[in-house]
Amino acid sequence: MAASIEKLPAQKAVKAGKGRGVNKFRFIALEIDKTLFALIIILLVLGIIMMFSASYAAAQNEWGDEYYYVKNQTLCAGLGLLAMFVASYLDYNFFNNTKIAYIFFIASFLLCLYTSFFGIERAGARRWIKLGVMFQPSEVLKIAYIFVFAYILSINHKKFEKSLKHCIAPFVILMGLTALLLMKQRHLSAVMLFMVIGVAMMFSSGMPRKNFWSFIGLCALGGLIGLAGIVLMKGGNFGYITDRIESWKDPMSDISDTTHQTYESLLAIGSGGWFGLGFGESRQKYLYLPESQNDFIFSIIVEELGFAGGLTVVLLFVVFVFKGLQIAANARDRFGTLVATGITVQISLQAFLNIMVATNGFPNTGISLPFFSAGGTALILQLSEMGVLLSISRQNLKSSTAKRIRAKDEARRAEDESKRIAAKKAEKAKAEAKPEEQ
């Protein structure tokens, strides 16, 4: 695969049904989206600072080094920023290719499948694997899922008008396989995340409204049937779901066991008041609140920085949502729109669920807060996704530089086409002249 740096917009997306794409690296040297870049840096820096504050007691207790988590997070942030810059210059249409999209998804799926049977078990769930570092393969699967689903929807969008099955089949097959795998890992929050990402991407794909809402109705029916089944079973492999729902309904019911984490989280949030106890002054992080540096870092943020600090974090993610959807709306092709939508929904929904769990607005799902929670590989992957989003924004329809380059590119193509037509006419005239000479 040859690598080249070009100051040209991305080549046209894969032709419908042909499965052919631009299977080479192609770097785009257009201006970076300064607003999005600044937002990413603010989230990253604030996240590292607050993660350090929330983690040093746990780091001292577990590793004998209060800087253990922040050193790891800072190192991974540096690697993530490098990956983000590379991805931001790489033409995102590199993934708009049959082989690339499917190989990436299948490899991620198989790694998750291996983890389901042979991974490291924590709290009764096998979600982690150690390949030099500890990480959850489902984090990689999220990105692969977005790329492959965007590819399938972009090459099949013309078929959406013909029948409902062309709208439903890709989602049912991909989501069905992924949901079964993640349920095996007892990763219900990831199942919800994948489902919402898929639905959001279908909504953005240009699918006829009638087909989309018919599909939503079928999904709602399937979800109700599944929920009824889980409630009726009240045990088995899915008993933990009903237990979490019961704990969510009454967080004071068993504060020494099943509702301990939620109770301590609410205590931290309530202690923060309007402006918090002060940076580094949290009491709950001293081993009272489990996973204070991870799933419940938002509680520590509010305890130390108060309602004002918590609201600031929420508003930062709200701005990210608007910016991400703006990039999706202005993307130069359908594939870019779908990928940008998927990434934006993934990051924002993770943040929403994490904050809802911390405030007991949703049952405990074990989902991290993007850019804030401890987890080096997850941070690297999130920053890589931000690089893809920056790549899409570099080539968006409203970029003045991109417009100029596109105009030159179109003029060049028109000139080449006129030359080709002239050459063809000359050949035809020459061919007609030969019989006359004979």
Give per-residue pLDDT as tens, 272-289: 999 999 998 999 999 898
pLDDT score of 221 more than 80: no
Inform me whether the pLDDT recorded for 22 exceeds 60: no
**Domain encompassing residue 37:** 3-421
What pLDDT, on the 0 to 100 scale, is given for residue 19?
43
Residue 38, CB-side half-sphere exposure with 13 Å CA sphere: 5
**Does any domain span residue 430?**
no
More confidently predicted of 395 and 23: 395
- Which residue has better confidence, 12 or 327? 327
42 band by pLDDT with thresholds 50, 70 and 90: very high
* % of the chain at pLDDT higher than 90: 42
Q: For residues 96-106, give the mean pLDDT.
A: 91
Give the count of domains, the chain.
Answer: 1
Res. 20 pLDDT band, cuts 50 70 90: very low
Whether the pLDDT of residue 381 is over 80: the answer is: yes
Q: Which of 11-25, 48-62, 284-298 shows the lowest mean pLDDT across its residues?
A: 11-25
Band of residue 323 on the pLDDT scale cut at 50, 70, 90? very high
> In the predicted model, what is the mean pLDDT of residues 207-213?
77
What CA–CA distance (Å, rounded) separates 44 from 316? 11
| In a domain? residue 395 | yes
* Span 122-178, pLDDT tens digits: 766 788 888 777 788 889 999 999 999 999 888 887 777 666 666 677 778 888 888
- Of the two residues 250 and 308, the one the predictor is more confident about is 308
Q: Is residue 69 very low, low, confident or very high in pLDDT (cuts 50, 70, 90)?
A: very high
**Which residues, 6 or more positions from 27, have their beta carbon under 8 angstroms from its beta carbon?**
3, 4, 5, 6, 89, 90, 91
Six-digit token pair at 399? 């970029």
Q: What's the rounded mean pLDDT across residues 58-72?
A: 91
By mean pLDDT, which of 82-91, 121-130, 161-170, 193-202 is the weakest? 161-170
Q: Does residue 232 register a pLDDT over 70? A: no
Q: For the chain, what is the radius of gyration of the CA atoms?
A: 25
Q: For residue 239, what pLDDT is reported?
A: 63
Can you give the pLDDT at residue 397? Answer: 62
- pTM here? 0.83
Token couple for 325? 């959807």
Would residue 434 count as lying in a domain? no
Determine, yes or no, domain membership for 334.
yes
Task: Quote the tokens at residue 267.
Answer: 């205590």
Q: Inform me whether the pLDDT recorded for 235 exceeds 90.
A: no
The answer to whether residue 252 is domain-embedded is: yes
As a whole number, mean pLDDT of residues 254-279 equals 88
> How many beta carbons lie within 10 A of that of residue 98, not counting itself?
17
pLDDT for 240 equals 65
Is 426 within a domain? no
- Position 159 scores a pLDDT of 74
Angle at 277 between CA 68 and CA 379, to 5 degrees: 35
Please count the residues of the chain: 438
Nearest to 262 by CA among 278, 273, 249, 251: 251
Instruction: Let me know: does 247 contact 254? Beta carbons within 8 Å.
Output: yes
What pLDDT sits at residue 301? 96
Percent of the chain with pLDDT over 70: 83
Mean pLDDT of 179-187: 83
pLDDT class of 179 with cuts at 50, 70, 90? confident
User: In this predicted structure, what is the pLDDT of residue 401?
Assistant: 57
Segment 285-306 mean pLDDT:
92
Which of the residue ranges 63-72, 319-328, 343-352 would you say has the lowest mean pLDDT? Answer: 63-72
The answer on pLDDT for 4 being more than 50 is no
423 pLDDT band, cuts 50/70/90, is confident
User: Does residue 433 fall inside a structural domain?
Assistant: no
The pLDDT of residue 24 is above 70: no
Q: Is residue 108 part of a domain?
A: yes
